[in-house]
Structure 1
Amino acid sequence: MSKYLLNKFLYTVDRDPSLVERYRSDAAGTVSWWEQEMANQLLNCAVAEKSTWLEFTDEERRALREHDHVALFGLGAHPFLTLTLFIAMFERDHGPLEYQKAYGRALQHHALPYPDIAT
């Protein structure tokens, strides 16, 4: 499991409006494409350097494909990254703050200590 890779996915997708829309409409395709093409590129690096070993686990892939922010939180994805990306994708389908409140309610069953979100 790589919390770094989960957070890198959430971070990079959230910063590109076309990727946000692509992930909203075709999560499985976006996750597969991103894992093949983007996962091993160095983050914020101007040089075309790549690593070769990073990949999602089956559990991470499933959670990303299903937009399952509760499972992602349990896997160690940073809650601010999931919240900002999921707001960009789903807030438009809800009233003011309705999505954010539902997001919080879905995570209510977690008690301290929360899953480790350090990368």
Structure 2
Amino acid sequence: MSKYLLNKFLFTIDRDPELVERYREDPAGTVSWWEAEQANRILACHDGERSTWQSFDETERLALSTHDYPKLFELGAHPFLTLTLFIGIFERDHEPLGFQTEYARALSRFTLPYPDIAT
């Protein structure tokens, strides 16, 4: 498991409106594409440098592919990254602040100490 890779995915998808829409419409396909094409880029601005060792485990891949943000939080994904990305994906399906309320409800089963979000 790699909290770094989970957070890198959430961060990079959230920063590109086209990728947010792609992830909303085809989460499993977006996760597969990103893992194959983007996960091992060392510098986002330079395509020539790549590593080969980073990949999601099955639990991470499933949580990302199903938009399971409570599971992502449990796995140690940073809550600010999950919240901002999933607001972009789901806010339009709720009344004002409705998704934020749903997010809080979905994570209410967690008590202190929260899962470790250090990478």
TM range (shorter): over 0.9
* Deviation by residue 1:14-50 (Cα, 9 ceiling, x = unmatched): 0001100000000000000000000000244446211
Aligned partners of 2:7 and 2:78 also within 8 Å: yes
Deviation of 1:104 after TM superposition, in Å, equals 0.4
Deviation of 1:94 after TM superposition, in Å, equals 0.6
**Matches for 1:58-73 after TM superposition, within 5 Å:** 58-73=58-73
Deviation of 1:71 after TM superposition, in Å, equals 0.2
Question: The residue matched to 2:40 in structure 1 has which SS?
Answer: coil
Moved over 4 A (4+): none
Question: The residue matched to 1:114 in structure 2 has which SS?
Answer: coil
Which residue in the other structure is 1:80 paired with?
A: 80
Structure 2 residues without counterparts, runs of 5 or longer: none
Which residue in the other structure is 1:109 paired with?
A: 109
Q: Which segment drifts farther, 103-112 or 40-49? A: 40-49
* 1:55 counterpart letter in structure 2: S
State the distance in 1 between where 2:75 and 2:43 align. Answer: 21
State the distance in 2 between where 1:89 and 1:43 align. Answer: 26
State the distance in 1 between where 2:12 and 2:21 align. Answer: 13
* 1:21 counterpart letter in structure 2: E
State the distance in 2 between where 1:110 and 1:20 align. Answer: 27
RMSD of aligned residue pairs (Cα, Å): 1.0
* TM-score normalised according to structure 1 size: 0.97
* 2:6 counterpart letter in structure 1: L
Structure showing the higher strand proportion among its residues: 2
How many pairs were matched up? 119
* 1:117 counterpart letter in structure 2: I
Aligned partners of 2:41 and 2:47 also within 8 Å: no
- Judging changes above 3 Å, is the alpha-carbon distance between structure 1 residues 78 and 43 closer, same or farther for their aligned structure 2 residues? farther
